[in-house]
Structures are given as structure tokens and as C-alpha cells.
Amino acid sequence: MKRTRKILLFFLCVFVFLSHLLAQKRSPKNIVVLISSQMPLYNKALHGFEKSLKDKAIAYDSKTYELPALKDNVLDVTNPKIVKLFEKIKKDKPDLVLCLGSLAVRLTRMHAKNTPHVFCMVVDPARFKVFHGGVTLDVRHSEQIDFIRKNFPFIQRIGLIYHPNENKAYMKEAFTLSKKGKTNMVFKQVSSEEELSRAIVVLGRKTDCLLMVPNARLFRRPRQFILQTFHHKLPIISISASYVKAGAMAGAYADYENNGYLAGDLAQRVLNGENYRNLPVLSPTKIKYSLNLVIAERLGFQIMKSTIQSAENVFQ
């Protein structure tokens, strides 16, 4: 009799456990989407994130919040609107917050650091001391070099301007590949716009192109920067389609939808119980590029047809 009771009790416990597990799987997750600003590229990333969760059969309900605009482009963490917004987010008790853009992840880690979250669409996250739990927009140096070699055989020696306090992981890879003799690079360290102008003159004499890295400090006036390089007949391989449209010869950059999809991969791990602080920062796995054929022609370069056909955008 006692044995029968033990067996029944065992099966009852198993039944309760499985019922609880199935209920959890059926219950939709509560996700908050926090957007740094209204930009079309964030919508592309969000679409990729949603597709990622759909492919994984993750049921969820979501709310979307947009951060208030910065006054005079200055971040004020005590802004009452920001404080009130995060009070609302914490009241929602989300299973996960998706942070779109650097401002969203920085403020989340200030105002809701204990709330599980992942980020995407962030350039050089280490600059904000963000070292885990998201997807960067930074294309690896080796991938940029592969892009140049495959599509622009007339480019042999590559110039690279960098700021000593930014893009440290990127520059570490660039220096390593150069020391191993795998790239033919000329590096110029620059700390101001005045030094930038002098560096362009030097690289115009010594290199076949200038490879850009994301740097808000150095490239505050992109139009002026592009005109200077054009004057020295130095084509730019940039980091966005907007630079290409403005006058760079080409640009290789992350696929924004893929950036969101990868964030969905990380989100699944968080929703399955993994601590977001233990998650890595992922690099893009899909790269797109744009071309400016007007600039290429004026600089005397002929772009291969296969390169033109594969480009996302061709400005001509």
C-alpha cells in the first residue's frame, strides 16, 4: 500500500512539473523594445529581431518605447522624462528589453541594470564600457580587407586613420594582421581635426585608398573630410551608405536586419534563463556594400560588373 502511494505521488509530481513546464512554454514572453531615436535602420533591425523569434517559435507580447530627444545633443540621465520612462518599463516587469542603439543600452544599464536586456545597432560598444550581451555594428577589419581585395584589385596599399582612445578592438586586429604581413597598411594616429587634415596629405602620397573606421570625434564634418580626400585623389572605403552617397567611392557595413536577427539569438538564451551578463558581444555575420560610380570614374577607377551587380546601392 505504501509502495502504491509512493508511486502515485511520484507520477503526480511528474504531472505537476510537466504541466508547469508546458504552461511556461505556452505563456507569451513580455518584451519591451527601447528605441534610441526614430531612424529607418532601427526598423530594419527590429524586423530581423522579430523574424529571429518567429523562427525559434518564441511566443511574446511587446511594447515599444522611444527615448526622448536629447537637448543640445547632451545626455542628461536625470531628465524627468527619461526617469519616468524607465519607471514605466520596470513596472511592466519585462522578461527582456531589446535596446536599439547606443543611447538605449547606456540608459538601460543606468536605470534598469537588473532587468534582462540585449542590444543591437551599436557602434564600438566598448567606448561606453559595454562589454557583453549584444550585437555590434562594427565590421571586422579582416572582412573589410577581404572586401577591398575581392572588389578593387587596383588597391594595394591601404591607409587607416584612427583615434588612440576609440575602436581599440578593431585596431588591435588591424595591427596584428599588419605585423603578420597579411595586409599592406599605413597607420596614422590622429587626435584632432587639424591632425586629420595633415594625415590625409601624407596618406594621399603613400596609399591607394583610405579605409574608414567609425569615429565621431574625427569625422564630425564628413563633407569637408570627403572633399579633402578627393582633392588628393584618395578614394574612401567607408562604413555606411550615407558616406558613399556623400562622396566616398565605396562602403562596407553591417546588414541591419541581420544585426537584429543575431540579437534574437541572444534573446532566446536570456528567455531560457541565461544571465545576460554572461552573453558575448557578437560581430555582424552579413555584410552589405554600396558604390559611388561617379566618384570612381572621376578618380580614374573602373569597377568590375560583378561588384556593381552585387551592391545594395549604386550611386551614379
pLDDT digits (tens, 9 = 90+) for 247-259: 999 999 999 999 9
Q: Which residues pair with 33 in a beta bridge?
A: 64, 98
pLDDT at 73 over 80: no
* Residue 35, pLDDT score: 97
* Cβ within 8 Å of residue 172, ≥6 positions away: none
Q: With contact defined as beta carbons under 8 Å apart, do 65 and 32 qualify?
A: yes
Which tens digits make up the pLDDT trace of 268-307? 999 999 999 999 999 999 999 999 999 999 999 999 999 9
* Cell 505563456, residue located: 27
End-to-end CA distance of the chain: 87
Looking at residue 104, its pLDDT comes to: 96
Q: Which carries the bigger pLDDT value, residue 188 or residue 224?
A: 188
Please tell me the least confidently modeled range out of 141-145, 186-190, 208-212, 218-222: 218-222
Cβ atoms of 97 and 34 within 8 Å: the answer is yes
> What pLDDT is attached to residue 14?
53
Selected residue with higher pLDDT from 112 and 8: 112
Q: In what order do the strands lie in the sheet with 117-122?
A: 60-66, 29-35, 96-100, 117-122, 134-136, 281-282
pTM for the predicted model, two decimal places: 0.87
Name the more confident of 118 and 74. 118
Residues contacting residue 96 through CB under 8 Å, at least 6 positions apart: 29, 30, 31, 32, 116, 117, 118, 267, 270, 271
Q: 196-234: per-residue pLDDT in tens?
A: 999 999 999 999 999 999 887 788 788 889 999 999 999
- Is the pLDDT score of 166 beyond 60? yes
| pLDDT (tens digit per residue) in 84-101 | 999 999 999 999 999 999
Q: What percent of the chain stands above pLDDT 70?
A: 91
Which residues are within 8 A (CB) of 22 and not within 5 positions of it... i.e. 6 or more apart? Answer: none
Q: What is the pLDDT of residue 23?
A: 44
pLDDT (0 to 100) of residue 75: 76
Structural domains of the chain in order of their starting residue, each with its CATH number: 29-136+257-282 (3.40.50.2300), 141-254+287-315 (3.40.50.2300)
Q: What is the pLDDT of residue 25?
A: 52
Q: Tell me, what's the pLDDT at 218? A: 80
